[in-house]
Amino acid sequence: MLELIRQDPVVFAIVIGLVGLCVGSFLNVVIYRLPVMMERDWKIQSAEFLEMPDVLSERDRQPYNLNTPNSTCPSCHQSIKPWQNIPVLSYLLLGGRCANCKQSISKRYPLIEGLTALLSVLVAWHFGYGLQTMFALILLWSLIALSLIDIDHHLLPDSITLPLIWTGLFVSLFDVFTDTRSAVIGAIAGYLCLWSVYMAFKLLTGKEGMGFGDFKLLSAFGAWFGWKVLPVIIFLSSAIGAVIGVTMIIFFKRSRETPIPFGPYLAGAGLLALFWGDQLVNWYLGRF
């Protein structure tokens, strides 16, 4: 079976697609629970620092992580059985409703599972059987989680961005996407690029234009792909963000003062660099 997976790209893509469905289901948990876990940790740490443990509610004291407690329906709080948690299939079999209270289940869950599977298949098809696919999937899955968390909470958790930086540097030791020298320079330059923009904007306006998580995410891309791809990622993410931002202001009457998360645009540009980084670098070097 392993030999068939290795030799037949179609079989390999199908297997990776099924794995992607399962990972997408897990990412739904990460996207929902990780910000809650962080908020609880902040409360506990603040209470300990201020020596005010009494301010913590009973709910804050209960164990809460990616594994505990079991998943429940947000409406009736009934535990979700394993057969009700099969990626996409359970949603279709249940008609998009809770088996107990019949309340609608958000379409977001199967969409994330399906998107993760689809992009995983594209990665497998593009890179084929090997180290590039394995590490590219890790990057892809991390970016999906980061993008959705940033959309929901305007937050890029250190527990994801920092391991991405170190993983990118580790991967460079094997020249999977770039060499170690380019990766180290890229990690440093990626952070300093956006940090410099942030500081300049703050000095000129007195406002914070972006969060530190954006610096770390660009630093991670520098570690994964090398410093040469950073201008491409910055240009693409800024262009996409500007188009979407102007569209939301004009057609959806969104206030100009409403903050827009930059992480999803960085992630999208990073995915383009993952698939076509060398071509994009050659293009802009040829132009400029």
pTM: 0.91
- What is the mean predicted confidence (pLDDT) over 119-131? 94
Backbone angles phi, psi at 204, to 5 degrees: -80, -35
Contact status, residue 270 vs residue 150, Cβ threshold 8 Å: no
User: Is pLDDT of 99 > 90?
Assistant: no
Residue 253 has pLDDT above 90, yes or no: no
Question: Tokens standing for 118?
Answer: 């689809």
CB atoms within 10 A of CB 168: 28
Q: What is the pLDDT of residue 75?
A: 80
Percent of the chain with pLDDT over 70: 97
Share of the chain above pLDDT 90, in %: 51
Report the pLDDT value the prediction gives residue 279, as an integer from 0 to 100. Answer: 86
Q: Pick from 122, 5, 1, 145: which is nearest to 66 by CA?
A: 145
Q: Which two tokens stand for residue 195?
A: 């940090």
Over residues 126-178, the pLDDT tens digits come to: 999 999 999 999 999 999 999 999 999 999 999 999 999 999 999 999 999 99
Q: Is the pLDDT at 31 greater than 90, yes or no?
A: yes
pLDDT at residue 288 greater than cutoff 70:
no
The CB-based long-range contact list for 133-136 (8 Å cut-off, 24+ gap) reads: 133/16, 135/167, 135/171, 135/176, 135/177, 136/274
Q: List pLDDT tens digits, range 182-209.
A: 999 999 999 999 899 888 888 888 777 7
User: What's the rounded mean pLDDT across residues 72-78?
Assistant: 80
Q: Which residues pair with 57 in a beta bridge?
A: none
Separation CA 191–CA 130 (nearest Å)? 30
Query: CA-CA distance, 73 to 22, in Å (whole number)?
Result: 19
Q: Chain-wide mean pLDDT for the chain? A: 88
Q: Which of 5-9, 104-108, 136-140 has the lowest mean pLDDT?
A: 5-9
